[in-house]
A and B are shown apart, each in its own frame.
Chain A
Amino acid sequence: MDDLSRRTAMKVGGATLGTAAFARALAPLTEWTEDISMEGFLQKHYKELDRAEMEQVLRRLEDETYAEHGVEVSISDPRPTPGVSFGYALNLSICVGCRKCAEACHVENNHDRATNNSYIRVLEMKKGSIDMELGRVDYDHPVPDDTRFYMPVQCHQCDNAPCVKVCPVEATWKEADGIVVVDYNWCIGCRYCEAACPYHARRFNWEKPEIPAEEINPDQGYLSNRIRPQGVMEKCTFCLHRTRNGRLPACLEACPTGARVFGDLNDPASEIRWVLENKRVFVLKEDVGTRPRFFYFFDE
Chain B
Amino acid sequence: MSNPSSEPPPVEIPGAHPIRTYPQFLWKAVGVATDGNFAFYAWMTALTAVFLVGVHAFARQTAHGLALTALSDHVSWGMYIGNFTFAVGLAAGAVMMVIPAYLYRDHDMHDVVIVGEILAISAIVVSLAFVNVDLGRLDRAWHLMPVIGRFNWPMSMLTWDVVVLSGYLAINLHVVGYLLYTRFRGATPNPKWYVPFVFLSIVWAVSIHTVTAFLYSGLGGRPFWNTAILAPRFIASAFVTGPAFIVLALQVVRRLTDFHVGDKPIATLVSVLRVTVLLNLFLVGAEVFTELYAGTAHSASARYLYFGLHGHNALVPWIWSAIALNVTAAALFLSSSTRTHLWRIDLACVLTMAGVWIEKGIGLIVPGFVPSTLHELVEYLPNALEWKVTLGIWALGLLVFTVGLKLAVAVFTGRMRADTAAQGSR
Contact = CB atoms under 8 A, between A and B. Distances in A.
A–B contact at 8 Å CB threshold (below): yes
Interface of A: 7, 11, 14, 18, 21-22, 24-29, 31-32, 36, 41, 45, 121, 123, 131-133, 135-137, 153, 162, 165-171, 186-192, 194-200, 202-208, 229-233, 285, 288-290
Contacts of A36: 139
* Most chain A CB within a 10 A radius of its CB, from B60, B64, B136, B369: B136
A29 B150 CA distance: 26
Contacts of A190: 131, 134-136, 158
Contacts of B219: 162, 166, 195-196
A168 B144 contact: yes
A189 B65 CA distance: 11
B136 A169 contact: no
A65 to B, nearest CB: 19
Contact of A206 (B66, B216, B222, B374): B66
A166 B157 contact: yes
Contact of B59 (A18, A27, A200): A27
A230 B61 CA distance: 12
A207 B136 contact: no
Contacts of A207: 64-67
Nearest to A203: B73
B11 to A, nearest CB: 27
15 contacts: A25-B53, A26-B59, A32-B63, A133-B297, A133-B300, A135-B375, A137-B376, A165-B155, A168-B144, A168-B158, A188-B140, A189-B136, A194-B73, A205-B136, A231-B65
Contacts of B144: 168-169, 188
Nearest to B64: A207
Nearest to B161: A168
A204 B149 CA distance: 22
A154 to B, nearest CB: 11
* Most chain B CB within a 10 A radius of its CB, from A45, A132, A199: A132
Contacts of B150: 45, 169-171, 186
B143 to A, nearest CB: 4
Interface in B139-153: 139-141, 143-144, 149-152
B372 A194 contact: no
Contact of A137 (B136, B369, B374): B374
Contact of B221 (A41, A187, A231, A285): A285
B374 A199 contact: yes
B250 to A, nearest CB: 29
Contacts of A45: 143, 150
A223 B259 CA distance: 60
Given A166-B156, A231-B136, A28 B60 contact: yes
Contact of A192 (B35, B55, B156): B156
B62 interface: yes
Nearest to A41: B139
Contact of A29 (B62, B156, B157): B62
B267 interface: no
* Most chain A CB within a 10 A radius of its CB, from B131, B139, B216, B372: B139
A131 B157 contact: no
Contacts of B159: 168
B66 A32 contact: no
A198 B221 contact: yes
Contacts of B76: 191, 194-195, 204
Given A195-B76, A202-B73, 13 more contacts: A32-B63, A131-B297, A132-B374, A162-B221, A171-B150, A187-B136, A188-B136, A191-B77, A195-B77, A195-B222, A200-B372, A206-B66, A231-B66
A26 B51 CA distance: 12
A206 B71 contact: yes
Given A168-B159, A197-B221, A26 B151 contact: no
A200 B73 contact: yes
A205 B191 CA distance: 52
Contacts of B35: 7
B137 interface: yes
Contacts of A153: 374
Given A169-B149, A288-B221, A21 B374 contact: no
Interface string B245-280: 000000000000000000000000000000000000
Contacts of A204: 66, 73, 76, 136
Given A168-B151, A169-B144, A232 B136 contact: yes
A187 B139 CA distance: 11
B368 A25 contact: no
A82 B371 CA distance: 40
